[in-house]
A = this chain, B = another copy of it.
Amino acid sequence: MIVEVVAVGTEMLLGQIVNSNAAHIGAKLAERGFDAHYSVVVGDNHERLTETIRTAIDRADAVILTGGIGPTPDDLTREAICEATAREMAFNQAYATELRERWKSLGRDLPENNLRQAEYPEGGEHLPNPKGTAPGVFLEHEDKMIFALPGVPNEMYLLLEDHVLPRLVAKAGDEAALVNRVLRSWGKGESAVAEQLDDLYHSTTNPSIAYLASGAEIKIRLSAKADTVEAADRLIAPLEAEIRDRLGSLIFAVDDETIESVLQAMLIERGWTVGAAESMTSGSVASQLSAIPGASAVFRGAVIAYATDIKMGLLDVPRETIDTYGVVSPETAMAMADGAAATLGVDVAIAVTGSAGPDAQEHPAGTVCVAVRTPEDTRARVLRMPGDRERVRVYTTTAALQLARLAITGTWWQS
């Protein structure tokens, strides 16, 4: 099944917005085993949008449009779908009434323009949008599926999960159930992971195994098809168990879990708090630790010690440790972690010191030391990160969170 993603909006062509929607949808499609051959961005122009939809219907089995379904005259996606599929526009009276009520409850009259959101191509249907006022649109046209979703990422995500992916899966599965499990691993590259699973990869087609690299993370997708979801789950279970057994602590999450959510859950379970001491990453680790709602239950704070004397002053790193081993050393990283635990009053402290470049001093750019203190002990590791300053900082931040996970679960040295 081939799916084409079309993002609508002049602001993307002008570079005012990065088209991250396409990447999000692409990843979700790939996880479920759908193919994408093209992804297109087109501006808010009726003729070009219509032409783009025609082309997409022509060469794909399903088309997912994002953007252009709001209330303003610039929002042309509904009209363009009508024209591309030679349909009239229908009107959802119930939704129009709902819109009017909503505005009334705010003490205001519905602007006439906003009624455009009650329109949809004849033969199609509205997909409810719980986070916004623009409902999505779904239409089957000559055995092709067309979806129009909001451009606002958070609204789009919900409609994609609740309405688009299930319909695609149902259609692709020919009434059968397709179940995907994504095991997320960190600590080895794609080829090393693939090597460890090579015999499994070649000996099974249902479930099938696929690898997806995403930054430093390698995702292993298991896809099974069966008559029911339960039967597909039963096909996946033994393979998943075998892979988990082989990869051990490399696997850190499943499906939509993230390293931030996994860490947060681990800490809550243990009743532990967390903090950071950062030099090179300069706040990125702290920022990640508080990125998701509920962070204040475990995250207390951090000391960003960019200057050496702040490492000594606020983190009590002994001058002789720095003089003997250098600022970028496991010894200094461990002293920073221990100091942060004391200063911040936390159970787990993550410390990072390194050289991001481009100006390397005592060490080549990309040399990084990460230390993690837990109530059990404090350990450090030296890493070498490739790439430029920005990339080194991003990869180091991920590595720091992952090493914290390994330290907390006591699997630091097996990884």
Is A13 touching B41 in the complex (CB atoms < 8 A)?
A: no
- Select which of B286, B293, B309, B343 is within 8 A of A283 by beta carbon: B286
**A255-294 interface with B by 8 A CB criterion:** 276, 278, 281-287, 289-291, 293
In the complex with contacts A283-B302, A293-B358, A15-B19 CB distance below 8 A: no
Least CB distance, A5 to chain B, in whole angstroms:
8
Q: Nearest Cβ distance between residue A222 and chain B, in whole angstroms?
A: 17
Mark A385-413 against chain B: 1 for CB-CB distance below 8 A, else 0. 00011100100000000000000000000
The answer to the question of A300 belonging to the interface, with a C-beta cut-off of 8 Å to chain B, is yes
Residue interface mask A199-230, B partner, CB < 8 A = 1: 00000000000001110000000000000000
Tell me whether A306 is interfacial, beta carbon within 8 Å: yes
Q: Which of A1-56 contact B (CB under 8 A)?
A: 11-20, 22-30, 36-43, 45, 48, 52
Check A283/B300 contact, CB under 8 A, given A19-B23, A24-B15, A43-B37: no
Residues of A344-393 whose CB lies within 8 A of B: 344-345, 357-359, 388-390, 393
Quick check: B20 and A18 within 8 Å, CB to CB? yes
Copies of this chain assembled into the complex: 2
Is the Cβ of A40 less than 8 Å from the Cβ of B38?
yes
Q: A-side binding surface: helix, strand, loop or mixed?
A: mixed
Task: Tell me, rounded to whole Å, the shortest Cβ–Cβ distance linking A339 to chain B.
Answer: 12
- The yes or no answer to A168 lying at the interface (CB within 8 A) is no
Shortest Cβ distance from A13 into B: residue: B36
* Cβ–Cβ contact B38 & A41, under 8 A: yes
- Among A12, A18, A287, A388, chain B packs the most CB atoms within 10 A around the CB of A287
A276/B304 in contact, CB under 8 A: yes
Residue of B nearest to A294 (CB): B359
A24 and chain B: residue at smallest CB distance? B15
Distance to closest chain B CB from A204 (angstroms):
21
Q: Which of B25, B45, B287, B290 contacts A15 (CB 8 A)?
A: B25
Residue of B nearest to A357 (CB): B293
B283 adjacent to A287 (CB under 8 Å): yes
Q: State how many angstroms separate the Cβ of A168 from the closest Cβ of chain B.
A: 15
Partner of A39 from B13, B36, B290, B296 at Cβ < 8 Å: B13
Contact A52 B38, CB 8 Å, known A283-B287, A290-B306: yes
A30 contacts B14, C-beta separation under 8 Å: yes
B-chain residues with CB within 8 Å of residue A42 when the two chains form the complex: 37-38
Which residues of chain B are within 8 angstroms of A306 by Cβ–Cβ distance?
286, 290, 295-296, 299-302
Task: Find the B residue at minimum CB distance from A219.
Answer: B16
Instruction: Tell me if A237 counts as interface (CB < 8 A to partner B).
Output: no
A287 CA / B286 CA spacing, docked (Å): 10
Instruction: Kindly list chain B residues whose C-beta atoms are within 8 Å of the C-beta of A276.
Output: 283, 304
A-B pairs with beta carbons under 8 Å apart, 23 shown: A11-B213, A12-B26, A13-B30, A13-B38, A13-B39, A14-B36, A16-B23, A18-B20, A19-B19, A38-B41, A38-B52, A39-B41, A278-B283, A283-B285, A284-B287, A286-B286, A290-B306, A293-B357, A293-B358, A293-B389, A300-B306, A304-B304, A309-B345
